[in-house]
Chains A and B, each alone.
Chain A
Amino acid sequence: MVAEAKKAALEERLDGLTLPEGGGWLAAARRDARDRLDAVGLPGRRDEYWRFTNPAPLVARDPEVSDVSQSPDPFDGYESVVITIEDGVVTLPDTLPENLQIGTLREAGEADIHWAKDIYGTLEAMGSRPVLRPLATLNSAYATDGVVIRATGPVAKPVHIRTTGTGDPILHHVVRVDADASLTLLESGTAGARSNVATEIDLADTGAFHHIRIQGPDHVRHPNTHLFARLRQESVFKSFTLSANGLLARNEAVIELTGDDATAHIAGAAFGRGDFHHDDTVFVTHDAVNCESRQVFKKVLRDGATGVFQGKILVKEGAQKTDGYQISQALLLDEDSQFLAKPELEIYADDVACSHGSTTGAIDETALFYLRSRGVSKRDATDLLVLSFLAEAIEEIEDETLREHVGGRMADWLARG
């Protein structure tokens, strides 16, 4: 039974929204998601899964702000295959490198037979158990468009989805990485005053997927993102998100390791001030033998900013030889900022090594003193220490050039912040 409040919230959100037109398998998948959404409603403040973040701005009928500024492309100067989405309109690149197929969700949805059919809404539905993710389910039902990307072998250049606009878009991407294929996906841009973006990533045996996402440094936006990944045998999934500013960002990642010897890393570095509220919610499920997962999240908060981390490692019965690691750390630069965390372990197999750590505190006075005594100004010293704190998360980016590129952007923004 859906509580009245959740039902009412859903009705309010859906007021004025219609299921996107079109037939084919996509229409069926949308109707299915719509039915599932009806059964669960939308979250409220009292939901356990939203205890640290008030979902109100994300579930309200309209976005709270309209004065949206666009940050310049953070991957500018980095060679990639660019897909632009401006106010919901997808523009695909003219030429593609080898082993890469790209299309719009809208077109793919009309095809009688399409590989994305088996993924769209499926990973989202899988990831909505045991924890409900109604905003992702809403996305599966109401996404107007998105990108479908398939790597059939190693793709030489990264694919960059640049999403800009001022509205309230709902976008859904589907990614498939075949056996022995590899793909790097970059994401950037202010999608709108509010945005709901879901990405489903299906990795075949030995497939490799690298994901680098940059959110910010523009501030007036409410991004809500979901990553759903399914990993098969010996596949590799690595995702990193850099967040600078943002009124309310909720980034959820739901990762299922279903094949033996798979690896999943997910990391994030976030910093902001004032009314910055940043929420990373991660759920990693180990359902196969000898898999490794790693979660590394760092947040720097000042002037009353709030950081949230909810991370879970679930090791199912039989998922022996699991190696699960999770760390969440926050640096509070003043008395008003806060960090709220719920790092969870749920383990049903005995031959595992799982650990999590979480620390919160102010900047290290000894380190600050050391730098000051070497003639570094207090401001510069603080910046240096913040940078070194966040660098540990950036280290999670495997590709050296990308790592330096993202690190450079972060240093620029910090210096200007």
Chain B
Amino acid sequence: MSLDEVQVKEGVDAETVERVKALSGAYKHGWNTEIDMEFAPKGLNEDIVRLISAKNNEPEWMLEWRLEAYRRWTKMKEPNWAMVEYPQIDFQEQYYYARPASMTEKPKSLDEVDPKLLETYQKLGIPLKEQAILAGVEPAPEDGERKVAVDAVFDSVSVGTTFKAELAKAGVIFCSISEAIQDHPELVKKYLGSVIPQSDNYYATLNAAVFSDGSFVYIPKGVRCPMELSTYFRINAENTGQFERTLIIADEGSYVSYLEGCTAPQRDTAQLHAACVELVLLDDAEIKYSTVQNWYPGDENGKGGIYNFVTKRADCRGARSKVMWTQVETGSAVTWKYPSCILRGDDSSGEFYSIAIANNMQQADTGTKMVHLGKNTRSRIVSKGISAGRAQNTYRGLVSMHPRAKNSRNYTQCDSLLIGSECGAHTVPYIEVKNNSSRVEHEATTSKVDDDQLFYCRSRGMDEEEAVALVVNGFCKEVLQALPMEFAMEAQQLVAISLEGSVG
């Protein structure tokens, strides 16, 4: 339904309607950067895999790993169990590698990076300059402010990583994964694919074959990472898939908070994004992984947008290790994403906090898996799904208590909110309890935005858009509170923006 056809409900004045119209589809990051790009030939075959490997100057073992994945992938079938529909993807009609021409020679420092690229990130509110502070907050460089190190990935390559020197002092390795393959092959060899094996699923296998860059983090024993780390992903080039791979290793007793953000320009054709994120946690380690996914969602008629097929998994190998996934999913035309926790170590714990907003023609099928293997393991799932327009939003999750996972606990809450009569909200949880000392509780509700709450807000002078945004923010508060402060502010605004045009 286009906005011209929207029936105006009683009591909504013309001004509101105009404002809603003006805001409809207002994706704030839809511009693109005019920059010379270098592409690999279109399509996918062994030569492309070799080329990507060669571009990154990879050692032989890495190339072999990729080729093995590629061969496996050619024999796999695209999964179809998710509640999402999209036209058949022609994997030969995509570019698998694109990098700014200026990046051919890797710049030695940020000063050598093409100013246009830096401008792109500036415009997105991601300051790469070391003194800057991330997102939402105006740059006010005062001593004692929290610092955030950024790895910025532009299409297929990492353009720069900030604060490297300062992090190195603490022993923290934070670089692009292509650099890590060069500089820390022993770590990469040991951990890459150990959480998400090459054979894991169709998109993870594709990623293993063609991933071009991504971030690598190693936090040594007993180190509390002195600042938050973040990666900012930007897809810019047309018809280009982004396949990044992130690997974070938290050694014994270490701690890191990691932030991830993503945007893409507004284009008429859909684009593919298939990423893998692997987290490894040894004894007493803790990782907080927060994502604000704001890929271009397509227009209100479902034209264009990113197909986001992502595999994220944390392996709590060590005893008492702790992982926390927090995600705010507002973008992408199609989302297929289940950040999971393998709770292998005794007393380890996993948490998953998610807000998934689907508006217009967006489709989101997202959730988590909590696999309890160790004793006394704990997990908590809080999922808030919001559907508006003609969108479909599905929570899909697994809680599995293995026979050995004695005395474990899980608590799951997934709530769905529907705004408008043409959208859908679905809940598909799998619960498998194979021992009796564990306790599993699952609760789910589906409802619409409460009329009384809306009326209250409206009677206090808010317009309908503001009122809905406020009610939805209230509905999401448990998740928003789990986000790092800077992200929480951004996410709250994003919740409002994502729902613009959904009422009336």
Q: Is the interface of B mostly helix, strand, loop or mixed?
A: strand
Residues of A within 8 A of B434 (CB): 338
A361→B438 CA distance, assembly (Å): 6
**Nearest residue, chain B, Cβ from A358:** B442
**Nearest residue, chain B, Cβ from A48:** B81
Residues of A within 8 A of B443 (CB): 355-357
- CB < 8 Å neighbour of A343 from B403, B429, B446: B429
- CB < 8 Å neighbour of B436 from A48, A337, A342, A349: A337
- CB distance A342 to B423 under 8 Å? no
Residues of B within 8 A of A388 (CB): none
- CB distance A359 to B442 under 8 Å? yes
Question: Would you list which residues of chain B between 429 and 448 have a CB under 8 Å from chain A?
Answer: 429-448
Residues of A within 8 A of B426 (CB): 344-347
- CB distance A357 to B403 under 8 Å? no
Question: Smallest CB–CB gap between B200 and chain A, Å?
Answer: 19
Question: Would you list which residues of chain A between 317 and 361 have a CB under 8 Å from chain B?
Answer: 317-318, 320, 330, 332-361
Residues of A within 8 A of B416 (CB): 345, 347
A359→B437 CA distance, assembly (Å): 13
The reply to whether the CB of A362 lies closer than 8 angstroms to some CB of chain B is yes
The reply to whether the CB of B422 lies closer than 8 angstroms to some CB of chain A is yes
Residues of B within 8 A of A345 (CB): 416, 425-427, 444, 446
Residues of B within 8 A of A360 (CB): 431, 433, 438-440
The proximity string for A residues 60-88 relative to B, scoring 1 for CB distances below 8 Å and 0 otherwise, is 00000000000000000000000000000
Question: Would you list which residues of chain B between 98 and 137 have a CB under 8 Å from chain A?
Answer: none
- CB distance B436 to A362 under 8 Å? yes
Chain B residues with a Cβ closer than 8 Å to the other chain, count? 35
- CB distance A339 to B433 under 8 Å? yes
The reply to whether the CB of B418 lies closer than 8 angstroms to some CB of chain A is yes
- CB distance A350 to B423 under 8 Å? yes
- CB < 8 Å neighbour of B447 from A334, A340, A353, A358: A353
A171→B428 CA distance, assembly (Å): 33
The reply to whether the CB of B421 lies closer than 8 angstroms to some CB of chain A is yes
A48→B438 CA distance, assembly (Å): 26
For B403, B422, B439, B446, the residue with the greatest tally of chain A CB atoms inside 10 Å of its CB is B446
**Nearest residue, chain A, Cβ from B395:** A345
The reply to whether the CB of B193 lies closer than 8 angstroms to some CB of chain A is no
Residues of A within 8 A of B403 (CB): 335-336
**Nearest residue, chain B, Cβ from A315:** B446
- CB distance A320 to B439 under 8 Å? no
Residues of B within 8 A of A48 (CB): 81
Question: Smallest CB–CB gap between A117 and chain B, Å?
Answer: 36
For A341, A344, A347, A357, the residue with the greatest tally of chain B CB atoms inside 10 Å of its CB is A347
For A48, A347, A360, the residue with the greatest tally of chain B CB atoms inside 10 Å of its CB is A360
Chain A residues with a Cβ closer than 8 Å to the other chain, count? 37
**A350-B448, A354-B445 given as contacts; is B81 within 8 A of A344 (CB)?**
no
The reply to whether the CB of B381 lies closer than 8 angstroms to some CB of chain A is no
- CB distance B431 to A342 under 8 Å? yes
Question: Smallest CB–CB gap between A317 and chain B, Å?
Answer: 7
Residues of A within 8 A of B421 (CB): 317-318, 320, 349-351
- CB distance A342 to B440 under 8 Å? no
- CB distance A348 to B432 under 8 Å? no
- CB < 8 Å neighbour of A359 from B428, B441, B444: B441
Residues of B within 8 A of A320 (CB): 421
**Nearest residue, chain A, Cβ from B409:** A361
The reply to whether the CB of B149 lies closer than 8 angstroms to some CB of chain A is no
The reply to whether the CB of B287 lies closer than 8 angstroms to some CB of chain A is no
The proximity string for A residues 356-398 relative to B, scoring 1 for CB distances below 8 Å and 0 otherwise, is 1111111000000000000000000000000000000000000
- CB < 8 Å neighbour of B433 from A334, A340, A347, A351: A340
The reply to whether the CB of B420 lies closer than 8 angstroms to some CB of chain A is yes
- CB distance A347 to B418 under 8 Å? yes
Question: Would you list which residues of chain A between 258 and 316 have a CB under 8 Å from chain B?
Answer: none
The proximity string for B residues 399-433 relative to A, scoring 1 for CB distances below 8 Å and 0 otherwise, is 00001001000000000101111111111111111
- CB distance A352 to B447 under 8 Å? yes
Residues of B within 8 A of A358 (CB): 429, 431, 440-442
**Nearest residue, chain B, Cβ from A302:** B436
- CB distance A335 to B444 under 8 Å? no
Residues of A within 8 A of B437 (CB): 335, 362
A317→B432 CA distance, assembly (Å): 31
A152→B413 CA distance, assembly (Å): 46
**Nearest residue, chain B, Cβ from A331:** B436
- CB distance B439 to A361 under 8 Å? yes
The proximity string for A residues 212-239 relative to B, scoring 1 for CB distances below 8 Å and 0 otherwise, is 0000000000000000000000000000
- CB < 8 Å neighbour of A350 from B418, B428, B438: B418
**A350-B423, A355-B445 given as contacts; is B429 within 8 A of A342 (CB)?**
yes
Question: Smallest CB–CB gap between B424 and chain A, Å?
Answer: 5
Question: Smallest CB–CB gap between B481 and chain A, Å?
Answer: 23
A337→B421 CA distance, assembly (Å): 43
Question: Would you list which residues of chain B between 279 and 326 have a CB under 8 Å from chain A?
Answer: none
A107→B422 CA distance, assembly (Å): 48
Residues of A within 8 A of B436 (CB): 332-335, 337, 361-362
- CB distance A351 to B446 under 8 Å? no
**Nearest residue, chain A, Cβ from B425:** A347
**Nearest residue, chain B, Cβ from A342:** B430
A343→B445 CA distance, assembly (Å): 12
Question: Smallest CB–CB gap between B228 and chain A, Å?
Answer: 36
**Nearest residue, chain A, Cβ from B440:** A360
A203→B433 CA distance, assembly (Å): 38
The proximity string for B residues 432-469 relative to A, scoring 1 for CB distances below 8 Å and 0 otherwise, is 11111111111111111000000000000000000000
Residues of B within 8 A of A336 (CB): 403
**Nearest residue, chain A, Cβ from B417:** A350
- CB distance B431 to A355 under 8 Å? no
Residues of A within 8 A of B425 (CB): 345, 347
A351→B437 CA distance, assembly (Å): 39
**Nearest residue, chain A, Cβ from B415:** A355
**Nearest residue, chain B, Cβ from A362:** B436
**Nearest residue, chain B, Cβ from A334:** B436
Question: Smallest CB–CB gap between A417 and chain B, Å?
Answer: 17
**Nearest residue, chain B, Cβ from A340:** B432
**A347-B425, A350-B418 given as contacts; is B446 within 8 A of A332 (CB)?**
no
**Nearest residue, chain B, Cβ from A337:** B436
Residues of B within 8 A of A337 (CB): 436
Q: Which 3 A-B pairs have the closest CB atoms?
A: A332-B436, A350-B418, A361-B439
- Where the two chains meet, the residues of A that have a C-beta atom closer than 8 Å to any C-beta of B are 48, 52, 317-318, 320, 330, 332-362
Given known contacts A344-B426, A353-B446, what 4 new A-B pairs fall within 8 Å (CB)?
Answer: A341-B429, A346-B426, A349-B418, A354-B447
Between-chain CB contacts (< 8 Å), 13 pairs? A317-B421, A336-B403, A341-B430, A342-B428, A344-B427, A345-B426, A347-B426, A348-B423, A348-B424, A349-B418, A355-B443, A358-B442, A360-B431
